[in-house]
Structure 1
């Protein structure tokens, strides 16, 4: 079932890429690099809800405009999952973070409004060392102008032993041309 969901999402992203060439919303300059530095917050989903209350992090996103409405992205940064108290023991659950490295796209379908998709790998940082690395898939929608970028997305971290979790995140970024 999970594999079918991931294949469906990949097919939708691919279809969007191939059929979106007729869109003429001119928001991202073609053949130009932009850098966005963002602060992010979110609510955990899946098994992360058991031991954490919210997430906070920061990311840097490099963007290259393929056309005036389509850009490729490279994002990396880090998210910290803030732990909550275990009601059975009275102690806090262990603290951890995720360090994502993702490639993706932004498609502006009307001026300043875009859909985005990213895929990559996330490295888990535990209190006692490094945890497993996970597949990181992240669809989203946002608004951007020449300086600011605000987006909402779902970030899914999935591992080999079916221990998936994620977050619903909000990103506020300051961007500038390079």
Structure 2
């Protein structure tokens, strides 16, 4: 129930930002670069939710406007999966992180509202060394103006051993023209 309240609050804030914004300017100027620095949080899905409670991370996204409503993106950063306690003990599961490197597209279908899709590779960082690298697929939807970008997405990490997991993520970023 607590999670549902937090998600509802996040949706209401994003809705308020969308409906109170009167800026009509383009958010992906053609032939221009933008850089967005974001903080991200999320809920683990799949096998990740067995041993972790939530995720927290940060990303940098470089965006190049192909047209006034379509952009190419390059994103990299890191997510940390915070471990749960092992049932019946005072110990925690091992913590780990994912370091994604993704390329994608962003399409504004109405002013300030976009859909996005990214594909890339994510490197798993374990407490004691490196784990496998995984295919990273990430569809999302968001709202952006000249400075702020708020998006919600599903991030899927899948490996060769059919061990896949992911996260439902929320990103808040500050962007500026380069």
Shorter-chain TM range is 0.7 to 0.9
Q: Deviation digits for residues 42-96 of structure 1, max 9, x if unmatched?
A: 0000000000000000000000000000000000000000001010443100000
Cα distance in 1 for partners of 2:38, 2:77 equals 9
Matched with 2:39 is 39
Which residues in structure 2 correspond to 1:1-178 (within 5 Å)? 26-178=26-178
TM-score between the two structures when normalised by the length of structure 2: 0.85
Cα distance in 2 for partners of 1:134, 1:27 equals 32
Q: Which runs of 5+ in 1 are unaligned?
A: 1-24
| Secondary structure, counterpart of 1:92 in structure 2 | coil
Q: Which runs of 5+ in 2 are unaligned?
A: 1-24
CA RMSD of aligned residues (A): 1.0
| Secondary structure, counterpart of 1:27 in structure 2 | coil
| Secondary structure, counterpart of 2:163 in structure 1 | coil
| Secondary structure, counterpart of 2:137 in structure 1 | strand
Equivalent residues of 1:26, 1:108 under 8 A apart: no
Aligned residues: 154
Shift of residue 124 of structure 1? Answer: 0.1
Q: 4+ residue stretches of structure 1 with deviation over 4 A?
A: none
Cα distance in 2 for partners of 1:137, 1:95 equals 22
Cα distance in 1 for partners of 2:46, 2:162 equals 11
